[in-house]
Structure 1
Amino acid sequence: MTGRAADGAADPSVLPGRLAEIMRPELESVADEIVAEIRALIPEYRRPLDGPYGKTIKAGVQHAVSLFAAQIADPSASKQHAHEVHRRLGQYEMREGRSLDTLQAAYRAGARVAWRRIMEVGRRSGFSSGVMSHLADAMLGFMDELASVALDGFLEAKARSTDALDTWRRRLLQLVLERPAVPPDAIEELAQLVGWTTPKAATPVAVRPLHPLNPAQRPSLDPDVLAELSGVEPRLLLPGPLTRERVAALERALPRCRFAVGPCVPLDAVADSLRWARKALALVDEGVLTPRRVMWVQECLPVLLLHADTALAAQLRRRLLTTLDGLTPRQRERMLETLRAWLDAQGHVLDMAERLSVHPQTVRYRMRQLEATFGDRLREPEARFELELAVRTMPDRIAGPATSRRS
């Protein structure tokens, strides 16, 4: 080949077919040389090549060099099969126990061998520097692409190992709960990696262990449940609405726990729903809500709203209790109990008597005391609403038995 012909090969209309034709006879030997180089430089690959191990390594290299030649001849040639081979190769490397660094070192070694052979072919064929530069860019970009595919396969296999899968699933749950919200694409990418189908809406569950959980024991949760049970605030996330059957399954899987089930909401609102569920558990501890094995947040939204700002609720209570200054503790308790019953029964004497378990005449006497203490505040809608807010934020031991029945 003359120099003039070689320079002309740099023309895009001539380069692809000519280069592919020259390189095809080199493919088998360069593949063998790449395998030998990898085994010589990287101790982890010095196993005998008989059996599935050798076939996997050789197949990966042969597909790579064959596809490179095909890509030069026709850039639109499909890469799907080669990508699948190298994705499986990455998965195989992870299962074999080799590191990510080892895998990447193998691809670098392969790129060096391929480049040396291209330089030899170029010199032998009289290619110009322009052609060689084109080849170098094409080859390096191609090897980076295959290395990236193998890396994806490696990470997929790693994510699906038992311990790693749990770690990545916990990370996915954390991403869903992040504030400010992370991009949906980031959630979807990690969800695909761990095999979790991203739902349009989900139900968070706050978990309260009633006895210490055994960290070595894995609860038998359904595969679509994301769980973080080892932290300070254990939680679960289930796709879609939570049925009674699924709640029963949770109770069986975590028999020594209390659950607060948040409302089913779009994925970007799960953090708020979980926050409400945690608040419901806290209100049980404070004596505001009645303890139950499973609490449905939808059933106590008004109580959660009243206790959403504890400092503000305390201020409301102080305004109410200031009105009762000068009374003995017993008188104050009876006054608050009567006020609560009066608000609940809307002033109906017989209903109040039943709630307070006293005679109607006693109710009338107490109502006169209420009117003397609160005056017009009992008749003004806004003032009466403030009184009711203050009373309903009080613990049972202060507001009286009417509160317990109401809760």
Structure 2
Amino acid sequence: MTGGAADETAEAMVLPGQLAQIMRPELESVADEIVAEIRALIPEYRRPLDGPYGKSIRAGVQHAVSLFLAQIADPTASKHHAHEVHRRLGQYEMREGRSLDTLQAAYRVGARVAWRRIMEVGRNGGFSSTVMSQLADTMLGFMDELASVALDGFLEAKAGSADALDTWRRRLLQLILERPAVPPEALDELAQLIGWATPRTATPVAVRPLLPIKGGYRPPLDADVLAELTGVEPRLLVPGTLTRERLAMLEQALPRCRFAVGPCVPLDAVADSLRWARKALGLVDEGVLPPRRVVWAQECLPVLMLHSDEALAAQLRARLLATLDGLTPRQRERVLETLRAWLDAQGHVLAMAEKLSVHPQTVRYRMRQLEAMFGERLHDPDARFELELALRTLPSAPWQHGAGLRRS
């Protein structure tokens, strides 16, 4: 190492501490200059500095300058107090109605004024370009750090306001439902921002307003229930299992709505559960499921599966029921009714007669018709299974034939 390089290295280690000592008497004037220039260059800050507003701005600037000087004198100096000041400053700026761009611009102005004063002191003190370059890097990194802390405070305050909190909560629900799934870290960060305790499992609820929900209406839901009620597919997310007490709360909060409750599943499976609940609502509209106010997808999973691909179900019906094409609508309905009863009663004549409310002799006559139409398929287990699938996917209301839901 040359003598000149060694001298610069030693200087770079010693002189920042000397600069801090020289700058300390100028602390108050530097802070005043920063505040003045911020007010001169950014119109949003030109209001009078009397009262809490002025104290907050001055305190933020003074803590920033004093902490920087403490840091260059002793890099291990604690930043906790200054960070807390600037976090509160960011919160205050949001509540005052200023934008994030305005806040960041204030930090840039502060960095420029502070550097201008440091350059002046450095030249007067004869510091080398090596030391000044080191100080420049240190100061820019320090200001970026404080700006980031203030940004966190700004976002925290924004998340805490009523409108912003609703926005962030809807965003969290959207992220939970996205496919492919977003990283868990992204969910946890947003959940922490709004104060939502991330559950291990959750129950999605598809909502069907029977009358339009007025814009801006905030139903009195439990605080941990995420809701999106203004879109084309309104939905709720309830942490854990939907208890009877929770259901009563939903019914009271949204009195003019129908609900389809998806199974309680791990958080990364909520999108599928909601899709099943949404399908259940559609089947209620089509008359496939009974018109209850609350439909439990868990209790009609076979129906949901059978109706998950209507085009495929139509192909199955066309292949298996083609022998009925030449019948009149009334004849076709009677044959299908008899076939349903035959499958349900496993061919037992008396049970079929009771189900159809006809004489057993009439049942025997109809069974001969079935034998003529379907032949050996009635006695083949696989064929009978296919016939039952075809019947249960017919666009009618199977709940009227004993397949209703047990819970209301």
Describe the superposition over 1:68-115 as per-residue Cα deviations: whole angstroms up to 9, x where unpaired.
122212323322221111111011011111122221121111101110
The correspondence of residues 243-282 of structure 1 with structure 2, limited to 5 A, is 243-282=243-282
Q: Is residue 17 from structure 1 mapped to residue 14 from structure 2 by the alignment?
A: no
Aligned to 1:35: 35
Aligned to 2:346: 346
The correspondence of residues 4-403 of structure 1 with structure 2, limited to 5 A, is 7=8, 9-12=10-13, 14-396=14-396
- Please tell me whether the aligned partners of residues 207 and 236 of structure 2 are also in contact (alpha carbons under 8 angstroms): yes
RMSD between superposed Cα atoms in Å: 2.0
1:228 and 1:8 map into 2 onto residues whose CA distance is: 61
Aligned to 2:402: 405
In structure 2, stretches of 5+ residues that fail to align are none
Q: Which range moves more in the overlay, 356-365 or 3-12?
A: 3-12
Q: Could you say if the C-alpha distance between residues 20 and 323 of structure 1 is closer, same or farther in structure 2, counting changes exceeding 3 Å?
A: same
2:77 and 2:363 map into 1 onto residues whose CA distance is: 91
* Offset at residue 6 of structure 1 (A): 7.8
1:300 and 1:71 map into 2 onto residues whose CA distance is: 66
Amino acid at match of 1:217: Y
- Please tell me whether the aligned partners of residues 87 and 153 of structure 2 are also in contact (alpha carbons under 8 angstroms): yes
* Offset at residue 4 of structure 1 (A): 10
* Offset at residue 16 of structure 1 (A): 4.8
Q: Could you say if the C-alpha distance between residues 371 and 84 of structure 1 is closer, same or farther in structure 2, counting changes exceeding 3 Å?
A: same
Provide the TM-score with structure 2 as the length reference.
0.93
* Offset at residue 122 of structure 1 (A): 0.7
- Please tell me whether the aligned partners of residues 19 and 122 of structure 2 are also in contact (alpha carbons under 8 angstroms): no
- Please tell me whether the aligned partners of residues 6 and 126 of structure 1 are also in contact (alpha carbons under 8 angstroms): no
- Please tell me whether the aligned partners of residues 63 and 82 of structure 1 are also in contact (alpha carbons under 8 angstroms): yes
Describe the superposition over 1:130-159 as per-residue Cα deviations: whole angstroms up to 9, x where unpaired.
000000000011101111111121122122
Q: Could you say if the C-alpha distance between residues 228 and 242 of structure 1 is closer, same or farther in structure 2, counting changes exceeding 3 Å?
A: same
Q: Which range moves more in the overlay, 71-80 or 49-58?
A: 71-80
In structure 1, stretches of 5+ residues that fail to align are none
1:354 and 1:69 map into 2 onto residues whose CA distance is: 95
Q: Which range moves more in the overlay, 323-332 or 373-382?
A: 323-332
2:260 and 2:99 map into 1 onto residues whose CA distance is: 42
1:49 and 1:73 map into 2 onto residues whose CA distance is: 31
Describe the superposition over 1:247-299 as per-residue Cα deviations: whole angstroms up to 9, x where unpaired.
11111111111000001111111111111001001111111111110011100
* Offset at residue 5 of structure 1 (A): 11
1:289 and 1:392 map into 2 onto residues whose CA distance is: 12
Amino acid at match of 1:406: A
Describe the superposition over 1:282-335 as per-residue Cα deviations: whole angstroms up to 9, x where unpaired.
111111111110011100001000011111111111112202233222221111
Aligned length: 401
After the TM superposition, which segments of 4 or more aligned residues of structure 1 sit over 4 Å from their partners?
3-6
Amino acid at match of 2:158: K
2:210 and 2:42 map into 1 onto residues whose CA distance is: 53
Q: Could you say if the C-alpha distance between residues 213 and 404 of structure 1 is closer, same or farther in structure 2, counting changes exceeding 3 Å?
A: farther
- Secondary structure of the residue aligned to 2:153 is helix
Q: Which range moves more in the overlay, 353-362 or 237-246?
A: 353-362
- Please tell me whether the aligned partners of residues 201 and 267 of structure 1 are also in contact (alpha carbons under 8 angstroms): yes
Amino acid at match of 1:17: G
- Please tell me whether the aligned partners of residues 260 and 280 of structure 1 are also in contact (alpha carbons under 8 angstroms): yes
- Please tell me whether the aligned partners of residues 15 and 127 of structure 2 are also in contact (alpha carbons under 8 angstroms): no
* Offset at residue 394 of structure 1 (A): 0.9
Identity of matched residues, %: 82
